Structure 1
Amino acid sequence: MAKSKKYFSNKVQCSDGYKFDSNKEHGFYHDYIKHCGYKFKVHPTINLLPKFAIGGMNMGGMSYTPDFIIYDMGKMKHVYDVKTSVSPKATDSAAKNRFKRFAFENNMPVEVVVPRAHDFKMTILGLTKSFEPQIFTNVDYDIHDYIGQ
C-alpha cells in the first residue's frame, strides 16, 4: 500500500545542507533558528529507551527526533517541534508520548511551534494545568518563566 502524502510528503532541501520535513519547518529554521545567536542542532536523535531483552528476543528501543534544539552555554534552552497547529488534535498520540518521555528524561518540555507570517505560536502539550499558547517573535525567552522551575 502506498504511503499517504499527508504524512510522507517531499522533503525540502535547504541551501545550508539540511533536509526539512515541510516548508513550515524550513521557514522556521530561516526565520528563527539560523541567526538566533545560540548554538543549535537540527534533527538530533535522542534515545529515550534502549533496546532490551524480553524472553529470548529483543524489544526495540524508542527515540525522539525534535526538529530543533537550541543551546545556551551548553544547556538546552529550547526543544522545538514544528507542527501545523498548536491544538492537541494536530499531534498524534505517539508523538505526545515521546514528548512526555523526553520531558521526563531531560527536565525540559518539547515546545510545539506553529510559524506564522511575523511570529510563531508556541504551546506545550501534556501539562496537567491549562497552558495558553504564547506568541513570540524570536527564541530569546526562558521557557521556565512560563512553566516554572
Structure 2
Amino acid sequence: MANKPTAQSHFGKKIVIDSYKFDSQKEAQFYTDYLRGKGLDFEVHPRFVLQESFERAGLKFRQLVYTPDFLVRDDQGIQHIFDIKNGFNAYGIDTAAQLRFKLLTLKTGVPVEVVVMRKGYFWSKIMGTTKPTEQKKRFRANYKPEFERESLWLV
C-alpha cells in the first residue's frame, strides 16, 4: 500500500520577489497582494525561539525554533502572525505545527493566524482554541482582530 502524501512531503518551489525568499507561490501571492506597497511594517520569516537549548542526563537538547511566514504590525501597534497553509485540515496543518502555534501564542500573547489563500481574498483562522473560532474571509492584512491580545511581547 502506497504512503499517503502529507503537506510536509510536498514542498513548494522557492520564489524570490523584492529580495524576499518565499517558500511557496502562495506565500509570494500573500506578499504581493496584501503587504507590498501597503505601508505596513512587516517581517518575512521572523525567527522565534520557543525553547532554549538545555542539558539533561549528560545530553544536550537543541532549541525549539518556529518561523512563521509573516509578522505584520499596523500603525496602531496591532500585530498579526500569519502562517500560510493549503487548508485548515490535518493535511494542511500537522499536529507539530499546531503545537508550535500554541507555544508561540503562549510566549508572545499573539495567536498565530493560519491563512488559506484564494483569488482576491484569503481565509484566516486561529487553530487549537477551546472555544471554536470561525474562519474569516479577509481582504487586507491589517484588520482589527475580533479578540483581545495580550501585550506580553513587543518587537
Q: Judge same fold: TM > 0.5, yes or no.
A: yes
How has the CA–CA distance of structure 1 residues 124 and 43 changed in structure 2, closer, same or farther, with 3 Å as cutoff? same
Indicate how the Cα distance of structure 1 residues 12 and 88 shifts in structure 2: closer, same or farther if over 3 A, else same: same
The one-letter amino acid of 1:54's match is R
Matched, 1:95 2:97: yes
Task: State the distance in 1 between where 2:78 and 2:95 align.
Answer: 24
1:29-61 CA distances to partner (integer Å, 9 max, x unpaired)?
100112232211000111010000112121111
Following superposition of structure 1 onto structure 2, how do residues 79-118 of structure 1 map, counting pairs within 5 Å?
A: 79-118=81-120
Q: Structure 2 stretches of 5 or more lacking a match?
A: 1-5, 150-155
Residue of structure 1 in register with 2:54 after alignment: 52
Number of residues of Structure 1 aligned to a counterpart in Structure 2: 143
| Matched residue type, 1:13 | V
Q: Which moved more, 1:134-143 or 1:123-132?
A: 134-143
The TM-score with structure 2 as length reference comes to: 0.84
RMSD after superposition: 2.0
1:36–1:139 CA contact under 8 A, matched in 2: no
Equivalent position amino acid for 1:94 in 2: A
Letter in 1 for 2:74: D
- Alpha-carbon distance in structure 2 between the residues aligned to 1:142 and 1:104: 21
Is residue 72 from structure 1 mapped to residue 78 from structure 2 by the alignment?
no
2-structure distance, mates of 1:74, 1:45: 23
Q: Distance in 2 between matches of 1:124 and 1:102?
A: 12
Identity level (%): 36
Paired with 1:118 and 1:93, the residues of 2 have a C-alpha distance of: 29
Map Cα deviations across residues 107-146 of structure 1 (whole Å, 9 max, x no partner).
Answer: 1100000111111100010011111100111023122xx2
Q: Does structure 1 residue 147 correspond to structure 2 residue 147?
A: yes
C-alpha contact 2:72 2:142 (8 A) present in aligned 1: no
List structure 1 runs of 4+ shifted beyond 6 angstroms. Answer: none
Amino acid at match of 2:148: G
Once residues 100 and 134 of structure 1 are traced to their aligned partners in structure 2, the CA distance between those partners, rounded to angstroms, is: 20
**In 2, Cα distance between equivalents of 1:45 and 1:29:** 18
Corresponding residue to 1:27 among 26, 29, 32: 29
